[in-house]
Amino acid sequence: MEKLSPALVLLLTLAACGGPKPPARWAMGGARLDLQPARWTYDGDPVEIRPLGWDYAEVRVDGDVELHLDRVGRVYDRYKRPIAMLDPDGRLVGVDNELLGIVGAANAALPGKAHAWLSFTPSGAVVKHDAEMGPVSVGGWVGCGPSPFAQQTCLLVSYVLYFEDEGERTGERVPAGPSVGVGIGVGVGVGP
């Protein structure tokens, strides 16, 4: 049997350990979500939650798959890479266990904020709470149903899409899927 060189062992170890890690409870899952067909108009584009069986759904924006959800609170990007998980207590945890916010059935708050940033009304309306303009209607969901787990699913989708969009406008960090690379040498990572 050939012996591996110490440099090769180090390289393989670093490659295996690199990159963002899914939330700590990823394998167990988090909050229960009810995945029902639902529609919302977001920034002029139709958004659809399309269940693919009882435990998995695609989220399409203007016909293109943007997110994937499963019944136990896991959120994946369009390439099915983990980006966040909703814990049973409402915490939305991203890669490397970064707190991305709090999402309940009626309200969602940004990380470190005590007040709602988005709200979901009983009629299905989504309201964004803007510090300068006050409450602003940002469309309404159809099909979220009376279940608080279905309402939380719709608010979760709204939150993740809005969080990504707001982050792009402000330059703040947004949920992103892990990036994986293999190479030789010293690497310096710079990113959002």
Express each pLDDT in 76-122 by its tens digit. Answer: 999 999 999 999 999 999 999 999 999 999 999 999 998 999 999 98
State the alpha helices, DSSP H only, in 43-188.
148-170
Is 0.85 topped by the overall pTM?
A: no
CB 175 within 8 A of CB 100: yes
Question: What are the helix and strand counts (H, E) for the chain?
Answer: 2, 12
Residue 123 to residue 101: CA distance in whole angstroms: 24
Report pLDDT digits (tens) over 11-68.
444 445 557 888 888 999 999 999 999 999 887 899 999 999 989 999 999 999 999 9
Residue 72 CB neighbour total at 10 angstroms: 17
pLDDT-derived band at 167 (thresholds 50, 70, 90) equals: low
Residue 12 to residue 118: CA distance in whole angstroms: 44
Residue type, 175: P
First to last CA, the chain: 44
